[in-house]
Amino acid sequence: MAVVAGVDGGRRAIDRGATILQLRAPGMTARALEERARELVAASSVPVLVSARCDIVLACGAAGANLPERDISVADARLLLDDRFVGRSVHSVEAALTAEAEGADYVIFGPVWTSPSHPDDQAKGLDALAEVVRAVRIPVLAIGGVDAERAQLCLGAGAGGYAGITMFL
């Protein structure tokens, strides 16, 4: 999964092997985000998820939403989005278990390593990733400082995949 801010980043990410795009543009107005999401959905050959905005998902026909831990519950998002993808970014086993119980299709766990995009977040490490993987039955994607070499380590720890910003630039 590539976390992108728009169409150009989405195209580059797909060219580099991304199979899902997550549009993340914090601070953007709802109207501007909707326009960007529409453009990305129309231009993308892979599913597009929108970060933290179920309303934008519905407005632009995106494949689903990825919700931060502080966002609405997965159960409430599921009511809104029905059978579209609903994922949750988590930072602990407990949060992953809650997301799974509420109906998440997957969780994104991290940061596994220190990340340039979130330098103040403490790295959790591969052991914590493996613990989350063992705790839930849904796919766990690793995020945070993941590059090509580290992606293989994440898969070796049991992750179903990985998400990244800089690795797809």
Picking from 112, 98, 102, 105, the residue whose alpha carbon sits closest to that of residue 138 is 105
Query: pLDDT-based confidence at 169, cuts 50/70/90?
Result: confident
Give pLDDT tens digits for 68-95: 999 999 999 999 999 999 999 999 999 9
The H or E element containing residue 65 is strand 64-67
Distance, first Cα to last Cα, the chain: 12
Domains and CATH numbers, the chain: 2-168 (3.20.20.70)
Average pLDDT, the chain: 96
Q: How far apart are CA 117 and CA 99, in angstroms?
A: 24
- pTM (2 decimals)? 0.95
Give pLDDT tens digits for 94-109: 999 999 999 999 999 9
Q: How far apart are CA 61 and CA 46, in angstroms?
A: 13
Q: Cβ contacts of residue 17 below 8 Å, gap of 6+?
A: none
